Structure 1
Amino acid sequence: MNAITDLNDLRLFAEVVDHGSYTAAARSLGLQTSKFSRRIRALEEELGVRLLNRTSRSLSLTETGRQFHQHCLALVAEAKAAKDIVDRTHSKPQGTVRIACPVALLESGISTIIARYVQDNPDVQVLLDATNRRVDVVEEGLDFAIRVRLPPLENTDLAVRQLGLSIHILVASPELTARHPALSSPSSIESVKEWPTLSMASSSERFVWNLVDVEGRLTSWTHQPRLATDDLASLRVAAIAGVGVAMLPKELVEADIQAGRLQHLLPDLAGTPGLVHAIFPTRRGMVPAVRHLLDALVAGCEGPNRQR
């Protein structure tokens, strides 16, 4: 026997049996009685068996029809359960959220925001890929990926939501600053240029820091770092050890500054703010678990600790 081509006919059959007549079943579903009757007859012809005994006044199940009806009820129940699952995902945060984020962003506060979100939403599971590689959200089946880039952002077919700003500041260890002249104003940048430096890796091996003052004036500093790497955590460790001056995200080193492990140099100058943003395949059909996590990230990234 060939597979049934329209599972809706099984539901119609179950409705006829449950209501006891074509007329009552058709009325409950808003269908014409004649159309309803034709669909059941077509189902019997497709199956090659009689399911209902018909008289002018009543309907009754054949033995095969009785057994078939039980399976139809199970199918209807499973369909309703499947819809209930979808309805629940549209009503409150639940289910699995798959995301990716650079390690340094996680260490600078993103991981705290995610942990708090998971704590507040016990029906949500977050699968987090902590990676510095450039991920493909579509190919890898991610709900979204978090990135930080200098403006303007590149054109993309993906949806983008800005989460906040990442401010980079100059920092050095107390031991390093003790070995060099004191800094009192932005004009002291010339003396800082004699200090050893640390930097993010550059494919061209040309290292330039662009610093902006509170009035928007730009100062560029070309330097040759003692250590260059694409790992912000390693730069932070080297800065604390006194290897050199580093330009690091403020949120990454805020605790070190408060604890005295690092000092904020030239507080009137900062690097061009990086845009912390999430990229995802589309805004359509976004379930609450994903949307609410993005909202939590926006709220957390725009908090007081993210400001210059």
Structure 2
Amino acid sequence: MVDSVLNLNDLAFFVAAVDAGGFAPASRRLGLPKSTLSKRVAMLEQALDARLVQRTSRTFTLTEVGRDFYQHARGALIEAEAAEAVVRRRQMEPSGTVRITASVPVAQAQLADCLPRLARAYPRLNVQLDVTDRFVDVMQEGIDIAIRSHFAPLPDSALVQRTLATESIILVASPSYLADRESLQTPTALEHHDGLLSGATATTWTLQDTADERVQVAPRAAFVANESVVLIAAASAGLGIACLPERMCRAAIARNELVRVLPGWHAGTVTTTLLMPHRRGQLPGVRATVEFLVEHFRADS
């Protein structure tokens, strides 16, 4: 019976000596004096009250109990290394609070799907999302990541900018609406169709084709809403034609609730950009979140 707790270092010295075939070669591998290794193994034998090694000036031979002990000691060291690796990985795992601000369309169309997956991937990460279309002072409000969709390039600033996606703005309508109306072959025909507008003053759409030909059209104002999900629902209900970012319409198109109108034309593009203060981008939790979002948008496009 062992009266004292074994020193794990002594187990390591013993295993190293056995693996090397003696104290001299083990001392050269470890960069320690031979006498130190011999003394520590002797202390281990004393703690165990058992002879592990038969040694002379020329031989290094394990006893029977030494062979059995070696197998278990080696296994114990492997388990100790594995236990340490678990802790090290845990310490390296992204953690802490990451504050994100996003516009309403981005939150609904993108983040509602991917942020729960982010939280599952990094359980020690505390994600806080503020959904708003107001101007947010990222630096002053302590925001780690801001995500915004915009039609024109963002102005230069002290913030790091990273483009997540660029998509076309397309025309969509329900099959039932199109079945009851005259066919649409050219953009000018839109003037005889019901338009679902994003604002009371947004009465015209500027369309362009692959040859960069541009034409401005004014559909009949049949419905007005400054919220994309409402416009998609209105279009799906057959109220008219909507002009919306392609990604937002994708699910309804896949369900055959909407079809694309004039597929050779689009109303420009919308870009989704991630912004963050440079210093916050160095934090492991923020860095992991950024890379997760970049990969999500890349896969989605």
TM-score of the pair, normalised by structure 1: 0.63
Partner of 1:255: 251
> How do 1:15-26 and structure 2 match up within 5 A?
none
Partner of 1:274: 270
Does residue 114 in structure 1 map to residue 115 in structure 2? yes
> How do 1:207-246 and structure 2 match up within 5 A?
207-223=203-219, 225-246=221-242
Shift in CA distance, 155/200, structure 1 to aligned 2, threshold 3 Å: farther
Shift in CA distance, 216/113, structure 1 to aligned 2, threshold 3 Å: farther
Instruction: Indicate conservation of the 8 Å contact 2:94/2:285, yes or no.
Output: yes
CA–CA distance in structure 1, aligned partners of residues 144 and 91 of structure 2 = 16
Does residue 195 in structure 1 map to residue 230 in structure 2? no
Per-residue deviation at 1:265? Answer: 0.8
Aligned-partner residue type, residue 138 of structure 2: V
CA–CA distance in structure 2, aligned partners of residues 97 and 276 of structure 1 = 19
Per-residue deviation at 1:222? Answer: 3.5
Which consecutive unaligned segments of at least 5 residues does structure 1 have? Answer: 1-86
Instruction: Indicate conservation of the 8 Å contact 2:102/2:133, yes or no.
Output: yes
CA–CA distance in structure 1, aligned partners of residues 240 and 232 of structure 2 = 10
CA–CA distance in structure 2, aligned partners of residues 93 and 214 of structure 1 = 44
Shift in CA distance, 231/269, structure 1 to aligned 2, threshold 3 Å: same
CA–CA distance in structure 2, aligned partners of residues 225 and 140 of structure 1 = 40
CA–CA distance in structure 2, aligned partners of residues 208 and 157 of structure 1 = 35
Once the two structures are overlaid, the 10-residue window that deviates more, 247-256 or 281-290, is 281-290
Instruction: Indicate conservation of the 8 Å contact 1:89/1:287, yes or no.
Output: no
Per-residue deviation at 1:224? Answer: 5.3
1:207 partner SS: coil
CA–CA distance in structure 1, aligned partners of residues 286 and 90 of structure 2 = 10
Per-residue deviation at 1:154? Answer: 2.3
Partner of 1:127: 128
Shift in CA distance, 285/243, structure 1 to aligned 2, threshold 3 Å: closer
CA–CA distance in structure 2, aligned partners of residues 215 and 91 of structure 1 = 51
Deviations 1:128-173 (A, max 9, x none): 1122222222232211111011132223332221111132211111
Identity of aligned residues (%): 30
TM-score of the pair, normalised by structure 2: 0.64
Which consecutive unaligned segments of at least 5 residues does structure 2 have? Answer: 1-87
2:192 partner SS: coil
CA–CA distance in structure 2, aligned partners of residues 175 and 240 of structure 1 = 9
> How do 1:41-80 and structure 2 match up within 5 A?
none
Per-residue deviation at 1:287? Answer: 0.8
Deviations 1:206-256 (A, max 9, x none): 433222222333232244533333211111121112222111121111111
Shift in CA distance, 89/103, structure 1 to aligned 2, threshold 3 Å: farther
CA–CA distance in structure 2, aligned partners of residues 194 and 114 of structure 1 = 42
Shift in CA distance, 103/285, structure 1 to aligned 2, threshold 3 Å: closer
Per-residue deviation at 1:292? Answer: 1.9
Per-residue deviation at 1:283? Answer: 4.6
Query: Once superposed, which parts of structure 1, at least 4 consecutive aligned residues long, lie more than 6 Å away?
Result: 87-90
Q: Which has the higher contact order (CA 8 A, sep 6+)?
A: 1
1:145 partner SS: strand
Aligned-partner residue type, residue 192 of structure 1: L
Aligned-partner residue type, residue 193 of structure 2: W
> How do 1:143-158 and structure 2 match up within 5 A?
143-158=144-159
Partner of 1:53: none
Does residue 164 in structure 1 map to residue 165 in structure 2? yes
CA–CA distance in structure 1, aligned partners of residues 133 and 104 of structure 2 = 6
Instruction: Indicate conservation of the 8 Å contact 1:175/1:242, yes or no.
Output: yes
Instruction: Indicate conservation of the 8 Å contact 1:143/1:281, yes or no.
Output: yes
Instruction: Indicate conservation of the 8 Å contact 1:172/1:239, yes or no.
Output: yes
Deviations 1:84-119 (A, max 9, x none): xxx999943111111111222222223222222221
Partner of 1:176: 177
CA–CA distance in structure 1, aligned partners of residues 150 and 274 of structure 2 = 11
